Every structure is written in structure tokens, then in C-alpha cells.
Amino acid sequence: MKKLKIVLKKYRSYIVLAIILFILIAVAYEYYNKYMYIFRDPNKIKNWIMSYGKYGVVVFLFIQFLQVVAFFIPGEIVQIAGGYIYGTLFGSIISILGITFGSIAAYSISRIYGKPLVNKIISDKDLKFFRKMLNLGSINFIVFLLYVIPGIPKDVLAYICGISNISFKHFIFYSTLGRLPGVIISAYFGSKIYTGNKIVLILIGITMTLLFVIGVLKGEKIIVKITKNKTSEGDKQL
């Protein structure tokens, strides 16, 4: 009994964090299964969020937080819904806040528990891909590219960065900077869904879809090429 108390005291912070993580993932899984159909339609997300009245903003922030920590909630649709509900500016701000809080949590959890946890929650394919990418050059620049290019599983990356060499402050800065264009465009698109110029919305939708497909198919090659060019320019200056 005494040994058990010593062990519990020694690993108290780890145990508390594990419980919190379990609760967050359980809640996210429950909500996603129960309301999965909602996350495919910004209008349904809006009705659901607005049903919470004055607490709607808090619920939206929590959803954005969860979609990073649990990483199986489709973030792009939620970002579009943010613009649809709150407009481009405020929708972008609360999306970034929620995403940033989620990124802080994911990075910190990964940093504390290390590779054993990351190996369990992330596929070998994603681990190999991101390890390869993060070793191409300046890790700060690579993290920015990974977040700014559409089609790359960004929320998984937060956990991988937690076991990488990138510092906490640099991770938050470059990941947030990389996310900004996508979040703002998604919020703008959402804000104009039922009030804006249909042709403009169609063009934005087609462009974003093409960029997403290119990111999925050619994202790795794009990053490798940009990194090589940046390295070559640096060598020339020397």
C-alpha cells in the first residue's frame, strides 16, 4: 500500500494528464458518432451551435479544440461553419484560438508522454512521412510549410512535433502562421455561403479543392523542392 502511494505521488501529473486525455477523446468520439452527420453540413453545425445560446462561442471553441486533440473531426468544415455563424473576422479569430489551444494540448501531451504514446495513436505511415519531412532542413520552416500546404494531415503533426526538436514557442508560432491562410479563406467562404456572389464562391471552392488535391498528391515533392531551393540559395550566399 505504501509503495502504491509512493508510485501514485511520483507519477501524479502523468496520471492526471492521462485521465484528462482519455475524457477528451471519449467526449470527442461520443459527439462525433452521435452528431457525425452534422459535421458534413455548415448549416447543421450552425443550428447546433446556436441552440446553445450565449454559450455557442464556447461550444465552437471546444469543437475546434477537440478536432485538433482527437484529429478525426473534419476541421475544414468546422472552419467554414465558423465563418457562416460569426462572419469572416470573428469566425477566423475563434477558429484560430480553438485550434491553437488544441495544438498546445496535443504538443504538450506528446512532449510529456513521448514516443510510446505517439506510436500508439499515429500510424507508421504518417510517422515515417513526417519524420522524413522534418529532417529536410530548418524544422521551423518545414513545420510552416506542412501547415500552410492544404491536404496534409495537420492535426496529427502536432503530436509528432511534440517529440521533435522544434521548441514549444516556435511550434505555436509557425503552426499558427501556417494555418492562418486556410482558416481565413474557409471563414470567408462560410460567411458568403448564402449571401455572397455565387460565381466567386464556386471559384473559391474549385481553387481550394484543387489545392487540396495537389497537396495530397504532390505535397511531399513541393516541400522537398522548396527546401532544396532554399538550401541552394543559402549555399550561394556563402
**How many domains are contained in the chain?**
1
- CA 106/CA 69 separation, integer angstroms: 5
Task: Give residue 93's domain range.
Answer: 2-231
Quote the pLDDT of residue 222. Answer: 78
Specify if 205 maps to a domain.
yes
Strongest mean pLDDT among 142-146, 192-196, 210-214, 225-229: 142-146
pLDDT band at 45, cuts 50/70/90? confident
pLDDT band at 151, cuts 50/70/90? confident
Specify if 236 maps to a domain.
no
Burial 18-55, CB ≥16 within 10 A → b, else e: eeebeebbeebeebbeeeeebbeebeebbebbeeeeee
pLDDT band at 235, cuts 50/70/90? very low
Specify if 45 maps to a domain.
yes
pLDDT (mean) for 226-233: 63
Specify if 142 maps to a domain.
yes
- Non-local CB neighbours of 98 within 8 Å, separated by 6+ positions: 60, 61, 62, 63, 64, 65, 68
pTM above 0.85, yes or no: no
- CA 7/CA 1 separation, integer angstroms: 10
Specify if 238 maps to a domain.
no
Residue 121, amino acid: I
Quote the pLDDT of residue 19. Answer: 64
Specify if 237 maps to a domain.
no
- Which residue from 88, 83, 64, 87 is spatially nearest to 176, judged by alpha carbons? 64
- Which residue from 27, 109, 105, 11 is spatially nearest to 72, judged by alpha carbons? 27
